[in-house]
Amino acid sequence: MTSLSTRELLRSAANQLIITKQAVDLDDGLLQVELLFGLAASLDRSAVLALGLEEPTAAVHERFQTLLNRRLTHEPLAYILGEKEFFGLPFRVGPGALVPRSETEVLVEISIQRARILRQRKAVPRFADIGTGSGILAICISRAFPDALVHGIDISDSALRWARENATRLVNSEKLTFHQGSLLEPLQKSGVHDLDILISNLPYIPSEEVLDLPEEIRQQEPLVAIDGGIDGLELYRKLSLQLEGILSPEGAVILLEVGAGQISWVEEIMMSTVQNLTDHPIVSAKHRDIRKIRRVLEIRYGID
Ligand SMILES: C[S@@+](CC[C@H](N)C(=O)[O-])C[C@H]1O[C@@H](n2cnc3c(N)ncnc32)[C@H](O)[C@@H]1O
């Protein structure tokens, strides 16, 4: 079927990814095809690299070509591999769930820092992750604080299937529960209150800009995970109106991932309601992601 060595085959495949804009450069292209080849040959990446001048078998070549074709037709790499690493953990992902992004890791880091402070006065903190998707935030928190009560909520049943599968594989906690519904409604209905930390990465791309996203995102990842309405801020407005009675009156932290340039708008929306919920002084902080973009808005009261 082929007289190409593995190395030549991978280089040629990486170039195809670059030409079709599925890879930004040769390093990115090679990384992707090495992972795809590894899946086709049931080998880890170092074993793939060690093949060098060896020719792949016809069966491996065929399986690799099938995987490469899926990638060339814009299927996200994580969907093909069935997995994406986030915060050092392998999360299962596929159609119906947003692929975890590395810029979201800052949300976990800050939540853990704040929860450590909170734990000095409250043994069992309560978290909610709104728009949990594949469950990444709820699961990372639940692993860091196995005693904490953690609620993951999503409007999408398909996303919740991934979240539950990830929870089964990655955490061993009966205190992590997932709920289907819009924003805080499922918690309101089941009488959950006194939340200490609310974290959320809601869809924030303005509807018109969704059309400009790469095909890989626009056509393959769920629209409900991306489209934030006319100005991208619709769900923050709705969320802000649901906060009354759900946060702990003694102190709480809200941590929201936002799009580039949106942070001050979201701050204004949240502050306008949070200031009516407490007599504590309110602190607002803006945190940058790994690309130095102001990505996470933090609003807290009663917690230093
Ligand atoms: C940007 S994704 C984030 C997923 C995950 N938290 C992450 O960081 O990878 C937004 C998630 O919010 C969910 N979502 C959209 N509208 C919602 C709503 N009204 N209530 C609850 N979840 C919603 C989507 O289904 C999607 O899983």
Sign of CA pseudo-dihedral 156, 263, 141, 198: negative
Give me the sheet containing 126-130, strands edge to edge. Answer: 176-180, 149-154, 126-130, 197-200, 252-257, 294-301, 282-288
pLDDT at 304 over 90: no
Q: Which residue, by CA, sits nearest to atom 13 of ligand 1?
A: 131
The string of pLDDT tens digits covering residues 136-149 is: 999 999 999 999 99
pLDDT tens, 209-228? Answer: 999 999 889 989 999 999 99
Q: Report the pLDDT value the prediction gives residue 121, as an integer from 0 to 100.
A: 85
Ligand 1 pocket member 228 (CB < 6 A): no
Q: Ligand 1 pocket, 159 CB below 6 A?
A: yes
Q: What is the pTM of this model?
A: 0.94
Provide the 3-class DSSP secondary structure of residue 158.
helix
Pocket of ligand 1 contains residue 94 by CB under 6 Å = no
Closest Cα to atom 5 of ligand 1:
133
Q: Which is the closest atom of ligand 1 to the Cα of 203?
A: 1
**CB 152 less than 6 A from any atom of ligand 1:** no
Burial label, 24 (beta-carbon count in 10 A; 0-12, 13-18, 19+) = exposed
Q: Residue 122, by phi and psi: left (phi above 0), alpha (psi -120 to 50) or beta?
A: beta
Under 8 Å between Cβ of 141 and 148 = yes
